[in-house]
Amino acid sequence: MKAVYPGSFDPLTNGHLDIIKRAARLFDPLIVAVLGNSAKNTLFSVEERIELLKEATKDIRKIEITTFDGLLVDFMHNNKAEIAIRGMRALSDFDYEFQMALTNKGLYDRMETVFLVSKGEYTYISSSLVKEITQLGGDVSNMAPENVVKALWKKLKN
């Protein structure tokens, strides 16, 4: 069954990578869909995020990496996918993710949302935190893949 793991991935974290690995064991294929039209002011371009994802996931089978703009339900319908993967770090994520799941279900009845709970060591990690720590000169090597850490240093320390 085809599933989609959508996100901005700005930048990819070890938490994201863990969800990708675990979802790839459950679904074939897993489409990792990078949001292109995010209202967020992203650090990395869509192309850079896709390249960072491809490098970090090169050993994971059964995944496709692409980009999308607009509504997730439209992307899923156009790609004949019915499962959306969402990672949950903490109880605080639940309200937002629950509302999104119900909204998406209302827009695309065939869509189901599968929540994967983050491993304990990743519950505090967010892309925003990784960027902020890097900007302040901190070590994020335990929070993001090596290629992402290098790209962050290059981007933020120039």
Q: Is the pLDDT of residue 3 over 70?
A: yes
- Domain residue spans in the chain? 3-156
Distance (Å, whole) CA 73 – CA 20:
20
Catalytic residues: 16, 40, 89, 127
Longest CA span, the chain:
47
Average pLDDT over residues 11-25: 97
Q: Is 96 exposed, middle or buried (0-12, 13-18, 19+ CB in 10 A)?
A: exposed
Q: With 70 as the cut, is the pLDDT of residue 158 above it?
A: no
Task: For residue 130, give the H/E element and its range.
Answer: helix 127-135
> Quick one: pLDDT at residue 38?
63
Write out pLDDT tens, residues 82-118: 999 999 988 878 899 999 999 999 999 999 999 999 9
pTM given for the model? 0.94
pLDDT at 31: 98
Query: Could you say which architecture CATH assigns to the domain 3-156?
Result: 3-Layer(aba) Sandwich (3.40)
Local structure of 17: helix, strand or coil: helix
